[in-house]
Amino acid sequence: MTSSTVGEEFEADLVTRYGSPLYVYDLDRLRAAHRDLREALPEPSRIYYSLKANPHPGLVGALREAGARAEITSRGELASALEAGCPAGELLYSGPGKTPGELDEAVLAGVRSFSVESFGDLERIGAAANARGAVADCALRINAAGAPGSAGLRMTGSASQFGFDLDVLLDAPEQLLVAGTRIVGLHFFPLTNATDEEGLCAELVQSIRTAAELRETLGIELRLVDLGGGFAAPYAVPGDRPRYPGLRASVSKALDESLPGWRDGAPVVAFESGRYLVGDSGRLLCTVTDIKESRGTSYAVLDSGINHLGGLAGLGRLLPMSAKPLREQPLDGVVATGAPGPEGAERVTLAGPLCTPADVLGRAVPLPGLSPGTVLAFPNVGAYGLTASLLGFLGHPAPAEVVVDGGEVVSVTRLALQRHQVTGPGPRATQHTAVKELT
């Protein structure tokens, strides 16, 4: 693994310059993750970066330069991908619930590749393409049964809003003939955050075999087989990304057996990743504002909570998190109005500033001796950090987001919620604005 070029003193200086809380993204770590994934995958193959993990244009642009394409699921992600310089014709638009307005905007922008979740989704994609005199290349997302692998979150393999159930698809293949569309591939993504290499390989091998069977049964030309991903990464706790030393050989063997033209691009084989590519590139820096005791529990109240590091808390998926002090001294201008934690208090609950008891980033975290003004750092939050959080709740401003490359700051922005008068098909709900240094 490549270590970060961002040291703690440098991060402390960033907090002084741009305020707290603050996200820091290190492009050196992002590029290292892309190299590691590239080395683990069959060659040749395509990597899509899933913007749902982090749509920051600085990260998207760096991955584009490294060779990844972008997979998007919304107007906002489309805007971020285009801002990052991704060619519209190379984007893959996926996800359930695509509206006619979203699809029209995507086709107008030049998007031509779509993952299809249902017959109704296919009809809407075709209508949008047909209205613009275009043809949409469509990959059918498959909800295959009997998936063998274990994962942090299962995406398919049971009743799901994602993808075609095989029996439904095979019972009505004539419904795939839709004006404005061309079926060119299959899309699989049965799991995310896979817990072991053996299970992940089993999932990918099964998807390859299913793709070969469907090509024959449906009589379709396979130009693209997107095998999804499931590549794991630690979240808000210390740790390294896993390596997958046996994946390339195992998956290449299955491709040779079932889809022998893949080495010549017939079909193109693709994989997707979000958390693996950007997870360890990001850290959240925040500050202790108060220390208190309540009925035997020590609390450190922070200036950041689930509004900035939600971990999908709104979906009931608040995961264990951990932080460590970046420095012990209070920030300039922070008045230490609370007392330090009581002597002997080894563990504290890390609470945020929101008016809800759900705003907790960690319970019984081993952080003795915290004081108001202490800066804490949460590691491995480059994925599913800010934009997976309850950003709008209570109206606290978003943290600044600092992008660092080679130990130098290359951009500082803040995600600002905007209210627009609705005058057309979907104004952008968010935008990045430049952040000035504090004076």
Q: What is the pLDDT of residues 258-296, one digit of tens each?
A: 999 999 999 999 999 999 999 999 999 999 999 999 999
Q: Work out the angle at residue 314's Cα, subtended by the Cα atoms of residues 422 and 393, and round it to the nearest 5 degrees.
A: 50
Q: Where are the domains of the chain?
A: 27-278, 280-434
229 CB-side CA count, 13 A: 24
The predicted pLDDT at position 228 comes to: 95
| Beta strands 181-187 and 136-143, pairing class | parallel
Domain 280-434 indexed as CATH 2.70.70.10: no
Task: State the pLDDT confidence band at 163, using cuts at 50, 70 and 90.
Answer: confident
Q: pLDDT, tens digit, for every residue of 14-51?
A: 999 999 999 999 999 999 999 999 999 999 999 999 99
Please report where in the chains the tokens 């460590």 appear, as a residue.
Answer: 324
Task: State the pLDDT confidence band at 192, using cuts at 50, 70 and 90.
Answer: confident
The predicted pLDDT at position 436 comes to: 60
The CATH class for the domain spanning 27-278 reads alpha beta
User: How far apart are the C-alpha atoms of 380 and 378, rounded to whole Å?
Assistant: 7
The predicted pLDDT at position 111 comes to: 98
Do 347 and 298 touch, CB atoms closer than 8 A? yes
Residues 187-208 have a mean pLDDT of 90
Q: pLDDT, tens digit, for every residue of 285-337?
A: 999 999 999 999 999 999 999 999 976 544 444 556 778 887 544 444 333 33
Q: pLDDT, tens digit, for every residue of 405-426?
A: 999 999 999 987 665 555 555 4
* Both structure tokens of 84: 């990052």
